[in-house]
Every structure is written in structure tokens, then in C-alpha cells.
Structure 1
Amino acid sequence: MEKLAIFGGTFNPIHWGHLLIAEAAFEQFALDSVLWVPSRLPPHKLHLVKFEHRLEMVRLAIADRPHFTVSNIEAKRSGISWAIDTFHDLQVVYPNSQWFWIIGADAFENLAKWRGSQELSNQCVWLVAPRSGESEERGERSEEKLTQNSKLKTQNAQKVRSQWIQMSPIALSSSQIRQYCREGRLSQGATPQKSLDNLIPKPVRAYIESHNLY
């Protein structure tokens, strides 16, 4: 049985923080593969570049990492991209798999608000990445607090299974990248202090520039 981890998100755009989180999860939990799943139309997310652009940027970013796979399973979805629907579709494509889900701490604390959260929590092990600015000296507070805040434990429900990804929090976000693009830091002639090369993979930067994104 393959150990597969879903890594979903808008990836608007993908950056080195995403890659570091996925690599840490892959190594620490002996996964067989990480499935990157760009969301076509996520709830509560506005002003996204086209799905096709975000999908291609993920492809470019992981092209040299055979243990990563990008999924276009959202490509034909017409409505809101609910996680439970995506999960059901992936189960058809990858039957007989042991499922993990890579998620940020903030999102995990709100897991109870997700549609189908109880089913997801019963079938997946949640691999939680620390939030930016959180102390590394988490102790018992980390996993226990997250599980309590998810509010998914009921008398008849299976306990939420979660593991903390052991890594330093990453102070980098896609919104920060988009802001830097608007500030003109995309140019290859930018000074090192203003370059995006340390924030996003070079093929992604080139794609953003060639398609005039953000």
C-alpha cells in the first residue's frame, strides 16, 4: 500500500516555502509520493491567476523531483473546489493507498469548518507545518492544541490523527511574492536584495515574467 500525501492549495504562486514543507514531510514520514493538487476555485479565495498558470508553475517547480507529482484532477471541476470532493476523486485514481494530508497549522485549526471534515479526518493522517513566527520550543502544546481546536472528536468519531512536521517555520507567503512582483523585483537585472530567486524557483520566475502575471 502506497503512502501518499496530498498537498493542496492555490499555489498563487508556488514558492520555496511550499517545496521545503513538502520535502520535510516526504523525508520524515517515509512517504512514497507527494501529490500536489492546485485548487481550481477554492472557497474564500479571490483574485487568482488562471488555474492553468498555477498548475504549470507547480509542474515547473517540481520537474526535477521524481518523488513529487502534480495532479490536474481539479481541471474539469465547474464549481467550488471542496477538499472532500477532491479527495474522493483522488481515491479513484489511487486506490488502496494510505492517505496523508500536508496542511499548515492555521488551516488545521479550522479543519472542523471544512465540508466533509469528519470523513477526511477519519481517512487521513494530517501532517501539520508550523506557522510563521511560532517558536520551535513547542513541546506538547503543538499537536495537542491543534487537535483540540479542530473540534472533530465526538463520541462516535475516530480521533484526529496528526503529526507535526519537524522544521523551522517559514516566513514566506504567496501574497508576499505577488507584492514583490508588483514592486518590480521580478526582473533578472534586479539587485540581490530585490531579486525573487531566493523566494521562488527560477523556472517559476521566468514563467511569471513571460506571461506577465501579478
Structure 2
Amino acid sequence: MPDPATEVPPAGRRTGILGGSFDPPHMGHVSVARDLVEELRLDRLLVIPAGDPPHREVTLPAEVRLDLTRRAFADLPGIEVSPMEIERAGPSYTVDTLEALARRFPSDRLVLAIGADQLAAIHRWDRWRRIPELARIAVMPRRGREPAPSPESTPIEYVVANVTRVDISASRIRQRLEEGRSVHLLVPETIRHDVERAWAGRRARHVTQ
């Protein structure tokens, strides 16, 4: 797939952004991404694995997560995986990513997709007031509840993206992997064996340490 750093965009393209640690990528991510393309009428959706997430620890190395994410979303229409945060030094702040995309694609209309829990905590993000200046915010509800910004970030404008939320979490998958259990049907079959192999290697290293 073309890299966002080199692609020449058509004027007025509607570009969605879906970030995350993808540690590992799973079927919930794939389902949400597909729905976002349709729900938000996107010309393309950029899936962007974080290089150094500032608010959470990751298990798999950045290059491994990037490779798995690329393969998890391979050949899905309208969805591209970008390495831009992994290639950028330092913490992966959303505002920096949006500013970089705005510079590269000044004619694109950017739409940032976030979860309801992220909306509630957005006032803690780096330079968060700049984010709605760079992109329209689309919030994915959780368990049918209407998203609610925190008092600190009110009023912040956003639209609701009604996507199908699959009851799968990366933390649940990591727990199963740590227990040596299969993640069949939880991650795309194209990456399942490599995901299970990566955690088997981690468990073996821990035993010998």
C-alpha cells in the first residue's frame, strides 16, 4: 500500500485516522475499521500503530506490531496502514500526527476516530485543544451509551460513529496468550500463528530468566 509520506492525494479527499497500540491487532479492530469507512463515508482510513504510546505500555516491539497490523488489514478496501508514528522519534502524540497529515495533505478533510473512553479523557492529551482545529472528531459509543466529554473539555464538537463493537480486547487476548491458550477467531487467521508464536517465545524467555 502507498505510504502517506509519498502519496499525492486527490483534492478534497475524506481521510479517517484510527490510531492505537495494536498489541496485537485483532478482529475487533478490523470490524471497527470496516464500519468507520462506511459510517463516515471515508475515501480512505489510515490505521496508524503507535510507536511509543505515552499513556500505556506495550508488549510487542513497534516493528512487530506494524508488520502484524499491515497483514491484519491487507487487501481491505479503503484501509491503509501507515508507519508514520513508528518512524517518528519520541512519544506518539495524536496532535503531532494530525499536524503532520495536515501538512502532507492540505486538501484532505481529516476525521479522527476515537472511543468514548478516549473522549472522556481527551483533556489530558497533549495540546488537546488543537485537535478539533485539525480534524473532525468521530466518537464510537461503548455498549450503546451516548459518548460524554469530561467537564474539562466541554464544549468540544464531535459526531457519533455508530460502529459494531465486537466484544474483544487486546488485554483479553494477551491474557489468553500468556496462559498458552489459542486466540483462534480473536485475531485474523493471517497473523494468528505469528501472534501465538511471539507469545510462546516470550514465555520461554521468562522461564529461562
Aligned-residue offset at 1:44: 2.3
Aligned-residue offset at 1:150: 6.0
**Equivalent pair of 1:101/1:127 in contact (CA under 8 Å):** yes
2:187 matches 1:200:
yes
**Equivalent pair of 2:31/2:165 in contact (CA under 8 Å):** no
2:175 matches 1:179:
yes
* 1: CA distance, partners of 2:181 / 2:162: 31
Q: Deviations over 1:123-173 (max 9, x none)?
A: 222221222xx3x3x4xxx14xx24x26334xxxxx533122224543211
Superposition pairs of residues 14-163 of structure 1, within 5 angstroms:
14-131=25-142, 134=143, 136=144, 138=145, 142-143=146-147, 146-147=148-149, 149=150, 151-153=152-154, 160-163=156-159
Gaps of 5+ in 2: 1-11, 203-209
**Equivalent pair of 2:19/2:48 in contact (CA under 8 Å):** yes
SS in structure 2 of the partner of residue 4 of structure 1: strand
**Equivalent pair of 1:15/1:199 in contact (CA under 8 Å):** yes
2:166 matches 1:170:
yes
* 2: CA distance, partners of 1:209 / 1:169: 24
Q: Name the CA shift for 1:34/1:168 in 2 (closer, same or farther; >3 Å).
A: closer
Q: Name the CA shift for 1:97/1:12 in 2 (closer, same or farther; >3 Å).
A: same
Q: Deviations over 1:72-109 (max 9, x none)?
A: 11233222111111212222332311011111110111
Identity %: 29
* 2: CA distance, partners of 1:150 / 1:33: 33
Q: Deviations over 1:157-200 (max 9, x none)?
A: xx5331222245432110111111112223xxxxxxxxx22211
Return the letter of the residue paired with 2:152. Answer: K
* 1: CA distance, partners of 2:97 / 2:14: 17
State which drifts further: 163-172 or 61-70. 163-172
2:7 matches 1:6:
no
SS in structure 1 of the partner of residue 80 of structure 2: strand
Return the letter of the residue paired with 1:83. Answer: T
Gaps of 5+ in 1: 154-158, 187-195
Q: Deviations over 1:20-47 (max 9, x none)?
A: 1111111011101110110011112124
Aligned-residue offset at 1:49: 1.1
* 1: CA distance, partners of 2:102 / 2:134: 11
Matched residue, 2:206: none
Output the TM-score relative to the length of structure 2. Answer: 0.83
Aligned-residue offset at 1:122: 2.4
